[in-house]
Structure 1
Amino acid sequence: MSRKLLKSGLIVSAMTLISRVLGLVRDVVVANLMGAGTSADVFFFANKIPNFLRRLFAEGAFAQAFVPVLTEYQEKHTAEETRDLLSKVAGTLGLLVTIVTLVGVVASPVLSALFGGGWFIAWLNNEPDGAKFELATVVLKITFPYLWFITFTALAGSILNTRGRFAVSAFTPVFLNVAIITAAIFYAPTSTQPEITLAWGVFCGGLIQFLFQIPFLLREKALVRPSWGWHHPGVVKIRTLMIPALFGVSVSQINLLFDTFIASFLMTGSISWLYYADRLLEFPLGLFGIAIGTVILPALSRNHVNAEGAGFGLTMDWGVKAILLLGLPAMMGLIILAKPMLMVLFMRGAFSMHDVEMASYSLMAYGSGLLSFMLIKVLAPGYYSRQDTKTPVRYGIIAMITNMGFNLLFAIPFGYVGLAIATSMSALLNATLLYRGLHLAGVYRVSRPTMVFFAKAVVSTALMVVVLYYFLPSQQIWLDWHLFERAKALIGLILAGAVSYLLGLLLLGIRPWSIKRGV
């Protein structure tokens, strides 16, 4: 099983790597075009709302509720009953998301006022920042339909994942990145409102993602005619699981939205600095955390359906070990190399050294929570695979309320950086509660070999930190260098860190087959 999971994880990671690299290219192009000013703040704001709802209807709560039920149907029911479930889910979800999308487009001023309170108040008082509110309502009307496209894209991806076709859904985000890059390079520079041009790039990218899935569904004989099925037993079970999961799996997204609301009251650039930091955080999170969580959910669901308690624990342990192996060095690398990475990737065009400085603080704050964010992606499936969504929702609400409290506490003394600190602290609390719940339920307990593995990974990471600080040039040297020299130095530092980390693991007795065999 561990070898199969490793293979699936590598496939998803490879496809995700392509997408994340293009995502970085997209952010580099956007940063060069708009920097961290008003246009950038508005564009990133207008993207956050449909992306938050995407987590609810598509990749987050829905997928966590849908995959275990679909797996159960594929294992215990006939092919015809499974197709009927897919038909009812597509029709029911489709109608609901269509209504939400139409309401979102029409009510974009209300949504902009709700989540951009600072801009709305400025608009009421005829202050300069009021222009951001007016612009945000227009951009949101264009980006909001992305929710409809990505919902069906995620539905198709969930179906394909349960059948072992992980590469398709992992590769799909490439099209969104290509669409935005195309808009930013060829159309936005000649536009008086580049944020609106980029919004149309989001719309087109969502449409292409949706269309890309259809041939693969046909090949799997999983393309069905949607039909309404609110009271279908499978849909009822998905609804029952999904409602509490809306909170449990989307806590981090709710926290980010609350961050955006608070940031709208702070200085211009706050939303953009948080966005660029979050994008760099999402690179290792998506490459490792989400990839591993994606491949273990179907495996855990099968373990649960077939009453394989020992297999369930081994699958969880494999996921946690993989996260520890990759998450620890990634977390410290983000913190230490925050400023060099931002300088290499974004410092050109409208993105200044001042923006690098400001974004680096939020990246270090977010980076401190990377391991917690990654563990959540692995621990949460331990509940959803057992069709238990009530327990994580309690933990999610606790973490969300804690985050809001920390936001209010830290926003005044630390500004936008305080928002990132609060998010990381609440993620740590959420991960701790998730593990504690699994442990108390007798479902999963970290094995002794994994604890020893963790200790060795910590020592190896410490060696990596020493090496990075030893070779890290001063800021003035980075400023004196041209882009090519900076990029070469950054790549050298990353390679030095990776080699020292791997050397530490080898000296402590960790071998590649330790993960492959799951021992």
Structure 2
Amino acid sequence: MSKRLLKSGMIVSAMTLVSRVLGLVRDVVVANLMGAGASADVFFFANKIPNFLRRLFAEGAFSQAFVPVLTEYHASGDKDKTRELIAKASGTLGVIVTIVTLLGILGSSVVTALFGFGWFLDWLNDGPAAPKFELASLMLKITFPYLWFITFVALSGAILNTLGKFAVSSFTPVFLNVMIIGSAWFISPNLAQPEIGLAIGVFLGGFVQFAFQIPFLIKEGVLVKPKWGWRDPGVTKIRTLMIPALFGVSVSQINLLFDTFIASFLATGSISWLYYSDRLLEFPLGLFGIAIATVILPALSRKHVDAHSEGFAHTMDWGVRMVILLGLPAMLGLMVLAKPMLMVLFMRGEFTPHDVEQASLSLLAYASGLLNFMLIKVLAPAITRVKTLRHR
């Protein structure tokens, strides 16, 4: 079992590494184009809101609740029943996320006021940050549809992971990075407001990721017509399991969003400094923490379906040991090398030495929690899986 998990983990880590490296290239391109100025602040704000909802619901709580239930259905050997669960889960989720997306687009000014309250106050009082509020409201209309696409990307990825096809979902984020880089090079230079081009890149990235996974769903025979199924037993179980999972994934995400809320009251560049430092934190978190969590969740689900408590404990022990083995050196490395890494990666173009200094301080604070963030990624699915037994 450990060898199989290690092999799956290496596949996910390899694909994630490609995506994360390309993500760093994307951030270098954006830093060179906009640095940490007002335009960068607004773009990162407009990109963070749909990503917050994605991580909170789609890739976070929903996946943790959906995979155990799907694994249970899949283990029964009844393909029609499994396809029916996928149809009703996707249909129910689709209706909800469509409503949320439309509300986000139509109410972009309200969303901006809620999470960028400092900009909103300046807009009310005709202060210096008033243009940020207006631009952020406009850009949210472009970036919010990304939530719709990425929700189904997360759903498709959860299905493929359950079937053991880890490489597809791990490689998918590459296309988002490619679209943003392409937009920075070919669209932004032709616009009066270059940040609008980056927002278009986010929209295109969501669409391409969604389209990329469809052939693999067809190949596995799990591309089904969505159905509304709010009261379906399987969907009900998923909804019930999402509640504890929400608490597990929401802490770090709400903290990051609260950081943005506070930063909207601070000097121009504050949101950008937080973004760049968070991106360096996400590199080891995705490469190790999320990769390990991705491969052990289906394994944990199979163990509980088979009532194999010893195997469940062994899998959890392996996951925690791997997190500590890889996470502790990564945490120390980020703390010691915060400033040099920021200088090497970003200090060019519009990104100044002052930006490096400010971003290094936030990276130092973020890095101190890396090991705990990684452990949450591994432990939260186990808690969700144990919770499943109570709802059989």
2: distance between equivalents of 1:389 and 1:120?
47
Q: Counterpart in 1 of 2:220? A: 220
Q: Counterpart in 1 of 2:279? A: 279
Give the 5 Å matches for 1:64-213.
64-76=64-76, 78-213=78-213
Q: Counterpart in 2 of 1:423? A: none
2: distance between equivalents of 1:389 and 1:303?
12
CA offsets, 1:221-263, max 9 Å, x none?
0000111111111011111111342232222111111111011
Q: Once structures 1 and 2 are overlaid, which stretch shifts more, 14-23 or 186-195?
A: 186-195
Q: Counterpart in 2 of 1:260? A: 260
- Residue aligned with 1:221, SS: coil
Contact 1:180–1:201, Cα closer than 8 Å, also in 2 = yes
Q: Percent identity?
A: 74
Q: Counterpart in 2 of 1:237? A: 237
2: distance between equivalents of 1:230 and 1:157?
22
Contact 1:67–1:159, Cα closer than 8 Å, also in 2 = yes
Contact 1:61–1:249, Cα closer than 8 Å, also in 2 = yes
Q: Once structures 1 and 2 are overlaid, which stretch shifts more, 371-380 or 276-285?
A: 371-380
2: distance between equivalents of 1:169 and 1:50?
19
CA offsets, 1:201-220, max 9 Å, x none?
00000000000000000110
Higher gyration radius (CA): 1
CA offsets, 1:441-500, max 9 Å, x none?
xxxxxxxxxxxxxxxxxxxxxxxxxxxxxxxxxxxxxxxxxxxxxxxxxxxxxxxxxxxx
2: distance between equivalents of 1:149 and 1:343?
34
Question: What amino acid is the match of 2:330?
Answer: A
Q: Counterpart in 2 of 1:380? A: 380
1: distance between equivalents of 2:243 and 2:110?
24
RMSD: 1.2
1: distance between equivalents of 2:315 and 2:253?
27
Contact 1:57–1:97, Cα closer than 8 Å, also in 2 = no
Question: What amino acid is the match of 2:29?
Answer: V
CA offsets, 1:27-63, max 9 Å, x none?
0000000000100000000111100111233100100
Contact 1:68–1:387, Cα closer than 8 Å, also in 2 = no
2:31 matched to 1:7? no
Residue 189 of structure 1 and its aligned partner are, at CA, apart by 2.4
Residue 77 of structure 1 and its aligned partner are, at CA, apart by 5.2
Contact 1:298–1:385, Cα closer than 8 Å, also in 2 = no
Question: What amino acid is the match of 2:161?
Answer: N
CA offsets, 1:304-330, max 9 Å, x none?
111111111110110111111111111
CA offsets, 1:337-370, max 9 Å, x none?
1111111100000000110111111111111111
- Residue aligned with 1:385, SS: helix
Q: Counterpart in 2 of 1:55? A: 55
Question: What amino acid is the match of 1:343?
Answer: M
2: distance between equivalents of 1:374 and 1:58?
19
- Residue aligned with 2:386, SS: coil
1: distance between equivalents of 2:195 and 2:139?
7
Question: What amino acid is the match of 2:270?
Answer: S
Runs of 4+ in 1 over 6 A off after TM superposition: none
Gaps of 5+ in 1: 391-519
2: distance between equivalents of 1:128 and 1:157?
43
Question: What amino acid is the match of 1:348?
Answer: R
2: distance between equivalents of 1:324 and 1:11?
20
2: distance between equivalents of 1:151 and 1:365?
30
Contact 2:68–2:388, Cα closer than 8 Å, also in 1 = no
C-alpha spacing 1:178/1:389, structure 2 compared with 1 (3 Å): farther
- Residue aligned with 1:265, SS: coil
Question: What amino acid is the match of 1:176?
Answer: L
TM-score by structure 1 length?
Answer: 0.74
Q: Once structures 1 and 2 are overlaid, which stretch shifts more, 74-83 or 114-123?
A: 74-83
Contact 2:153–2:213, Cα closer than 8 Å, also in 1 = yes
2: distance between equivalents of 1:109 and 1:245?
30
- Residue aligned with 2:275, SS: helix
- Residue aligned with 1:326, SS: helix
1: distance between equivalents of 2:249 and 2:11?
24
2: distance between equivalents of 1:35 and 1:189?
15
Residue 303 of structure 1 and its aligned partner are, at CA, apart by 1.0
2: distance between equivalents of 1:98 and 1:80?
26
Contact 1:33–1:189, Cα closer than 8 Å, also in 2 = no
Contact 2:245–2:380, Cα closer than 8 Å, also in 1 = no
TM-score by structure 2 length?
Answer: 0.98
Question: What amino acid is the match of 1:203?
Answer: F
- Residue aligned with 1:386, SS: helix
Question: What amino acid is the match of 2:363?
Answer: L
Give the 5 Å matches for 1:104-503.
104-387=104-387
CA offsets, 1:263-289, max 9 Å, x none?
111111111001000000000000000
Question: What amino acid is the match of 2:336?
Answer: I
Q: Counterpart in 1 of 2:33? A: 33
Q: Counterpart in 2 of 1:480? A: none
Q: Counterpart in 2 of 1:16? A: 16
Residue 78 of structure 1 and its aligned partner are, at CA, apart by 1.1
Contact 1:26–1:177, Cα closer than 8 Å, also in 2 = yes
1: distance between equivalents of 2:221 and 2:352?
52
2: distance between equivalents of 1:227 and 1:258?
36
- Residue aligned with 2:387, SS: coil
**Bigger RCO (CA 8 Å, 6+ sep):** 2
